[in-house]
Amino acid sequence: MAAGDISLKRFDIELPSGELVTRELYANGRHQCRVSLLVVKIVEDERGIWVETPLTEVERASATITQFGTPNQPLPPGWYCDTEKNKFDAGLWRRADSGEQCTQASEPVESVPEATVVELIPRYMRAATSVRDDPVRFMGRITLGGKVFTTNGSAGGTIFYTYVDIFPMLTIRLLVRDLTEYHDLHAFSGIVENNKIDIDVYYWMPPSGLRFIENKGLDNPVPVTLEGAYFQTSFIYNYSGGNREKGGIIWKKDTLGLQLRVDDVQRPSGNNPLIEFNRYATIMRAIRYDGWIDSPNREPMSPWRLLDNFGCEHVYRVAYGSSRNFLRLEDVGFEDLD
């Protein structure tokens, strides 16, 4: 060895819980499971003494998680390692055995070792929907001075042998019966630009512990003449001389408390009055609009996709009931999806 040589005194891979195995990962391509690498880097000085030395930014950036095996082992197909935490919650959704009380799984706080030179590098694993629900064993890998080290290897006589096993879980699927529906049949009613308009707003709330955080919209919304910028139509029907009823969703307003105006749903809107659509704390909202619209009848009712706080996708269909005067939410089966 020579002055300036780089090695490792410690290199471990750990879960926040301290356990070797976790199931706290939904295989939906978005949910993340935190895994940490604990590193002590040492550099030989001119006297031949190994000195504990902080990692450089380049060295930290090289730290990653890969499948357990040889140093050049790639990740299995469908697995990803992120350097940053995304917007989705960690842990699993836990439904209580009785009732609908649910609590979000809390990820234990990881304890940093007392030695201040031990560097903790968080990484975040994801698994695609194509991944089987079988356990996969992972190790850590880092490159120092052009040499690759793993948590399944050795350095200067020190043997490293740590790993974690991750069992990917099936994604959450909420059916219509799992949601709580509210509706406001008086969200707006009035005459705008000689157009008599009536608007109802429907809200759906998921069970406790879950919330919708991203509305991905309809797969194939109906093209409607002068459609508002924040609306997608599921169906439109002419019931009397150009007076049409359309049902669809509010989208691109995933922050609660935002205002909604008539021209966000359908134009022209004249003085553009407000529509009440914040009665319930959910972004899963749909509208039945009744007024004059110059568009042909179409009723494809294509799938509506939303993401929950764990990154799981839920798919429904906005349909109609009671002579199209009310909206009805329907489940979309896997056979209906591409």
* Distance from C-alpha of 321 to C-alpha of 334, rounded to nearest angstrom: 23
* Distance from C-alpha of 97 to C-alpha of 101, rounded to nearest angstrom: 8
One-letter identity of residue 294: D
SS3 62: helix
- Banded pLDDT at 3 (limits 50, 70, 90): confident
- Banded pLDDT at 325 (limits 50, 70, 90): confident
* Distance from C-alpha of 101 to C-alpha of 94, rounded to nearest angstrom: 9
* Distance from C-alpha of 208 to C-alpha of 226, rounded to nearest angstrom: 38
Residue 187 has, within 13 A of its CA and on its CB side, a CA count of 28
pLDDT at position 104 is 44
One-letter identity of residue 118: V
Q: Is 106's pLDDT higher than 50?
A: no
What pLDDT, in 10s, does the model give residues 243-274?
899 999 999 999 999 999 999 999 987 789 99
Whether 245 contacts 288, CB under 8 Å: yes
245 burial type by CB count under 10 A (0-12 exposed, 13-18 middle, 19+ buried): buried
- Banded pLDDT at 312 (limits 50, 70, 90): very high
Q: Show the tokens assigned to 22.
A: 């976790």
Q: Is 99's pLDDT higher than 50?
A: no
Q: Is 298's pLDDT higher than 70?
A: yes
Tell me the CA distances in angstroms from 188 to 181, 192, 324, one per residue in order: 19, 11, 18
pLDDT at position 334 is 64
SS3 107: coil
Other residues' Cβ atoms within 10 Å of the Cβ of residue 138: 26
Average pLDDT for 4-10: 92
* 243 compared with 180, residue with greater pLDDT: 180
Q: Show the tokens assigned to 131.
A: 């991944």
Q: In the chain, which residue ranges form alpha helices assigned H by DSSP? A: 57-62, 262-265
Q: Show the tokens assigned to 36.
A: 């940490």
Q: Show the tokens assigned to 257.
A: 């408390």
What pLDDT, in 10s, does the model give residues 153-171?
988 888 999 999 999 999 9
What pTM does this model have? Answer: 0.88
266 burial type by CB count under 10 A (0-12 exposed, 13-18 middle, 19+ buried): buried
- Banded pLDDT at 95 (limits 50, 70, 90): confident
pLDDT at position 108 is 52
251 burial type by CB count under 10 A (0-12 exposed, 13-18 middle, 19+ buried): buried
Write out 269-326 in H/E/C secondary structure.
CCCCCEECCCCCCCCCEEEEEEEECCCCCECCCCCEEEEECCCCEEEEEEEEECCCCE
Q: Is 98's pLDDT higher than 60?
A: no
* Distance from C-alpha of 236 to C-alpha of 244, rounded to nearest angstrom: 7
